[in-house]
Amino acid sequence: MTVIFKNLDIEALKHKVASAHIFTKAFKLIKENRIAIRILSICIIFLMLVIVDTMAVGLNFGFNVKYEGKVIATVQNPDVSKVARSIAVENVSSEGADGAISVPKLTLTLTVGNNFDTAKKVADAIIENTGDVVKASALVINGETLVCGDAEVLDKQLNSRKTAYYIDGAENTSEFADQVEVISGYYLKRDLVDEDQIKLVVDALQVKTTSKIVKDTTVKYSTKTVWSSKYSAGYSKITTVGKNGITREVQLIESVNGEQTASTTLEKQVVSSPVTEVVTVGTAASSSSNAAASAAGFICPISKGQYKVVAYWGDGRNHKAIDLAANKGVAIFAAAAGTVESAGYKSDYGYNVVINHGNGIKTRYAHASALCVKAGQTVTQGQMIAAVGSTGYSTGNHLHFEVIVNGTRVNPAPYINLG
Ligand SMILES: [Zn+2]
């Protein structure tokens, strides 16, 4: 093998040898200080790791917002604090809020990450830390703010006013005549009024109330008397128990400040109809009634076959007599002998005669068309004293016959023999 050196550069070769010498020296140094270099390497790696880590986490410069001696937020830009204060001032509804909210102070800070507060959040913190600003409600009537106070107190007073004219037991609704608004927000403490002042303003509001009332009215039952010859005179028994009915009315009552302005009947219905009470009264002559009749010694005041009983004692209308219908002009006889106590005209009885039979017993004969006797006159049993008619309070020709014992009218049925 032949090696040919062409244009050999001696200088370059010398340099190469020198370089090789430096490397050899360095290698020798590293070899001699192996441990120290290892420690240095570890330190460099560790430092690099810390830098990389810090960059990943993100260390940032920011500003602490100090308000009323307290750090309330951290912002990135000083302008955020300014904007926040403006928002806070604007959020307070009272006038002069600008004077009540001081200017926050800023101090530079180094912060980890990007957790800076927004202007809105800072504004909230400013309001929260301003002693003169409170959360409250304003009462606005027809667009004009009248008072400002505790929200709960205002609500309570408005509700109490709105329900002031409710009718017990009714279905009530109400509204204010004016446009009433409650606006809650932040207000300066000095603008708030107490409960008494709120009440004064609220009580001046006009209230329109509508009440739906359901009213039940009792309909009294009536009584009907059924006369029965199956039972003796003096027999009386309720055969159908009467029951009151109920009528229901639904009324709508409108009022302004409790003064009624309108009343409308929405509906009226019969909830239950009354049940007529039926009283069965006996008319048959009993041995005792015969005894009474014979004791009084009465005869029937109209001859047999000439009358018909049309109304008995009681008769559901407090009829304290017996009515014998007969043709006009039919003779009316004295039931027993006695003295004519009165004979004349009365608006209710028409032409009528009262005969006193002694022993506290009297008889009356009413609605006559003509009288045949005069007061003070004595009459005998069966003597014609009057003629049947329809005078006074009467709707047809009949004799209204009463028996009066010691001043009290009694059922005449047992005293006379009715054919
Ligand atoms: Zn009568």
β-strands 277-284, 236-240 pairing: antiparallel
Q: Which fold has domain 286-415?
A: Glucose Permease (Domain IIA) (2.70.70)
Give the pLDDT of residue 405: 86
CA distance linking residue 306 with residue 299, whole number of Å: 14
Give the pLDDT of residue 216: 93
Give the pLDDT of residue 318: 77
Give the pLDDT of residue 165: 97
Q: 323 C-alpha to center of ligand 1: Å?
A: 5
Q: 335 C-alpha to center of ligand 1: Å?
A: 17
In 276-330, where do the E strands start and end?
277-284, 308-311, 322-325
Q: 372 C-alpha to center of ligand 1: Å?
A: 20
Q: 347 C-alpha to center of ligand 1: Å?
A: 14
Would you state the CATH architecture of domain 215-279? Single Sheet (2.20)
Give the pLDDT of residue 259: 96
Please return the burial class of 3, using the count of CB atoms within 10 Å of its CB with bins 0-12, 13-18 and 19+. exposed
Give the pLDDT of residue 182: 96
CATH 2.20.230.10 positions along the chain are 215-279
Q: 275 C-alpha to center of ligand 1: Å?
A: 26
Tokens of 409: 């009218």
163 three-class SS: coil
pLDDT averaged per 10 residues in sequence order, the chain, 419 residues: 48 57 69 78 74 64 93 92 93 90 92 87 94 94 94 96 96 96 94 95 96 94 76 73 95 96 94 90 53 66 89 78 93 94 96 93 95 95 94 95 90 77
Q: 400 C-alpha to center of ligand 1: Å?
A: 4
Q: 231 C-alpha to center of ligand 1: Å?
A: 22
Residue 226 contacts residue 278 (beta carbons within 8 Å): yes
CA distance linking residue 380 with residue 402, whole number of Å: 18
Q: pLDDT tens-digit profile of 34-70?
A: 777 788 888 787 777 655 555 556 788 999 999 999 9
Q: Tally Cβ neighbours within 10 Å of residue 371.
A: 19
Give phi and psi for 377, each to the nearest 5: -75, 140
Q: 324 C-alpha to center of ligand 1: Å?
A: 8
Q: Tally Cβ neighbours within 10 Å of residue 214.
A: 13
CATH 2.70.70.10 positions along the chain are 286-415
Q: 389 C-alpha to center of ligand 1: Å?
A: 12
CA distance linking residue 367 with residue 352, whole number of Å: 6
Residue 402 contacts residue 319 (beta carbons within 8 Å): no
Please return the burial class of 60, using the count of CB atoms within 10 Å of its CB with bins 0-12, 13-18 and 19+. middle
Give phi and psi for 51, each to the nearest 5: -65, -45
Give the pLDDT of residue 313: 81
